[in-house]
């Protein structure tokens, strides 16, 4: 069976090597039509008419998701026609074989070799704080097959290059496309039917401990302190403090997390928002982040992106040592690179809620230092830099 699979992979790689390429750009992401790939696609459609006219833009998505993705693209771009095909279909493979460019967030047919006439740019989905790619303990050589990738600063150049088995010269410092929206002033919350006036809006974005989608794994402590414990064991008291302070807490579980399959109580001060909710309202995660006043997370790379907003961050986690042993970090000791209050239990969280402004004020200088280290650019021009690098700047 393994020999047959290897023969098929070699055959597909041979086809890709000999087929001539056309002016076609493939976009792919997980979840479908999201993250850095969507941000770059929208920028090209809206702001780079020269690229839009010269190249056919194609989205490849998961099975059965074409109509839903077309609907999202129509709403977001105000353009009716978008080419969307299933990635693992005959048309998906045909477009793969003839495309000059591929932009992806999670690799693209990683077993099949890209052609020398083809450029695969791995946009990835965040600068890695936790270990990724070839640096994972059980990677078994399974890494993204991108020809180039991007980074947010020179700090991440060697990290991204080693993780994906490419030279540092193949990692381009541009910033991340999805971050451009973080500095916009649009009130995206109205689209999510959040119209009440709150003193603060907090978004809580934990990474997963037990994944049930994609790379199935257990990182850190499955029973670590987090929103599940609070909403199950401390709901009434916790809600009372949010109401007293007039805070809205929006909890967004990781799309790969087993907790996405659970239902939790909600009200005017606690909202659970999943990917499906964002899709229904045609809002991206980073548009949601742009509208909040404070970020809570743990080891998710989202805090690196959020630093460019200069808004406060808190780290809600109690399994740093376990996570270091099971998954690992690129930074040691990791706590030195986490510029915000560390909250390890319910009492500490309550104290933080009651004294947010004073506690967050202590971390302003540290946030600035880490931001400078991790983000070369703190602007909304990452998409522009990527397009200029790969396609020239004729459109600007």
Domains of the chain: which residue ranges? 2-178+380-391, 185-374
Tens of pLDDT, residue by residue over 39-63, are 999 999 999 999 999 999 999 999 9
- The answer, yes or no, to whether residue 396 has pLDDT greater than 60, is no
DSSP assignment string, 22-33: EEEEEEE-SSSS
Burial of 80 (0-12, 13-18, 19+ CB in 10 A): exposed
2-178+380-391: CATH, from 3.40.50.11820, 2.60.120.260, 3.40.1160.10, 3.40.50.261: 3.40.50.11820
Q: Which helix (H) or strand (E) holds 100?
A: strand 99-104
Tens of pLDDT, residue by residue over 359-378, are 999 999 999 999 999 999 99
CA–CA distance from 166 to each of 35, 149, 161 (Å)? 23, 9, 5
CA nearest neighbour of 204 among 323, 291, 289, 125: 289
Would you state the pLDDT for residue 200?
Answer: 96
- 319 or 394, higher pLDDT: 319
Tens of pLDDT, residue by residue over 253-295, are 876 666 566 677 788 999 999 888 899 999 999 999 999 999 9
Of the listed ranges 22-26, 209-213, 234-238, 360-364, the one predicted with least confidence: 209-213
Tens of pLDDT, residue by residue over 308-347, are 999 999 999 999 999 898 899 999 999 999 999 999 999 9
Return the CATH number of the domain spanning residue range 185-374.
3.40.50.12580
Q: Report the C-alpha gap between 299 and 284 in whole angstroms.
A: 21
What average pLDDT is seen over the chain? 91
Mean pLDDT, residues 211-224 taken together: 68
Q: How confident is the model at residue 37 (pLDDT cuts 50, 70, 90)?
A: very high
Total residue length of the chain: 396
- 354 or 143, higher pLDDT: 354
- 152 or 220, higher pLDDT: 152
Three-state SS for 167? coil
Do 326 and 354 contact (CB within 8 A), yes or no?
no
Q: Do domains 2-178+380-391 and 185-374 have the same CATH topology?
A: yes
- The answer, yes or no, to whether residue 395 has pLDDT greater than 50, is no
**Bond before 31 cis per omega within 30 degrees:** yes
Q: Report the C-alpha gap between 263 and 59 in whole angstroms.
A: 32
- The answer, yes or no, to whether residue 222 has pLDDT greater than 80, is no
- 170 or 227, higher pLDDT: 170
Would you state the pLDDT for residue 225?
Answer: 77
DSSP assignment string, 376-388: S--SS-HHHHHHH
Instruction: Dig out the tokens for 381 from the structure.
Output: 């021009």
Mean pLDDT, residues 69-88 taken together: 96
Tens of pLDDT, residue by residue over 99-123, are 999 999 999 998 898 889 999 999 9
Q: Report the C-alpha gap between 188 and 185 in whole angstroms.
A: 9
- The answer, yes or no, to whether residue 187 has pLDDT greater than 80, is no
Q: What is the pTM of this model?
A: 0.92
- The answer, yes or no, to whether residue 9 has pLDDT greater than 60, is yes
């Amino acid at each position: 069976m393994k020999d047959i699979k290897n023969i098929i992979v070699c055959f597909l790689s041979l086809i890709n090597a000999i087929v001539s390429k056309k002016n076609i750009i493939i976009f792919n992401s997980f979840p479908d039509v999201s993250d850095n790939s969507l941000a770059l696609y929208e920028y090209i459609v809206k702001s780079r008419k020269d690229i839009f006219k010269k190249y056919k833009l194609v989205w490849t998505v998961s099975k059965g998701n074409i109509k839903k993705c077309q609907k999202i693209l129509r709403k977001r771009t105000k353009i009716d026609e978008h080419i969307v095909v299933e990635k693992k279909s005959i048309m998906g493979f045909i477009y793969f074989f003839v495309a000059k460019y591929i932009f992806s967030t999670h690799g693209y047919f990683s077993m099949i070799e890209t052609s020398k006439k083809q450029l695969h740019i791995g946009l990835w989905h965040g600068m890695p704080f936790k270990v990724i790619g070839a640096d994972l303990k059980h990677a078994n050589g399974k890494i993204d097959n991108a020809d180039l990738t991007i980074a947010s600063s020179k700090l991440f150049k060697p990290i991204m290059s080693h993780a994906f088995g490419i030279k540092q010269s193949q990692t381009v410092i541009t910033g991340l496309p999805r971050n451009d929206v973080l500095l916009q002033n649009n009130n995206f919350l109205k689209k999510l039917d959040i119209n009440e006036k709150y003193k603060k809006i907090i978004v809580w974005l934990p990474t997963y401990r037990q994944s049930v989608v994609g790379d199935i794994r257990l990182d850190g402590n499955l029973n670590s302190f987090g929103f599940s414990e609070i909403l199950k064991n401390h709901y009434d008291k916790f809600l009372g403090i949010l109401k007293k302070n007039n805070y809205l807490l929006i909890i967004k579980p990781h799309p790969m997390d087993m907790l996405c399959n659970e239902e939790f109580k909600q009200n005017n001060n606690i909202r659970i928002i999943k990917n499906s909710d964002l899709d229904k309202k045609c809002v991206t995660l980073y548009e949601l982040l742009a509208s909040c006043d404070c970020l809570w997370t743990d080891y998710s790379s989202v805090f690196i992106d959020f630093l460019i907003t200069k808004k406060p961050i808190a780290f809600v986690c109690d399994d740093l040592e376990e996570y270091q042993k099971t998954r690992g970090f690129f930074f040691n000791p990791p706590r030195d690179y986490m510029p915000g209050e560390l909250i390890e239990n319910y009492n500490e969280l309550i104290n933080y809620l009651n004294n947010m402004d004073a506690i967050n004020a202590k971390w302003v200088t540290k946030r600035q230092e880490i931001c400078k280290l991790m983000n070369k650019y703190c602007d909304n021009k990452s998409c522009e830099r990527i397009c200029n690098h790969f396609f020239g700047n004729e459109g600007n």
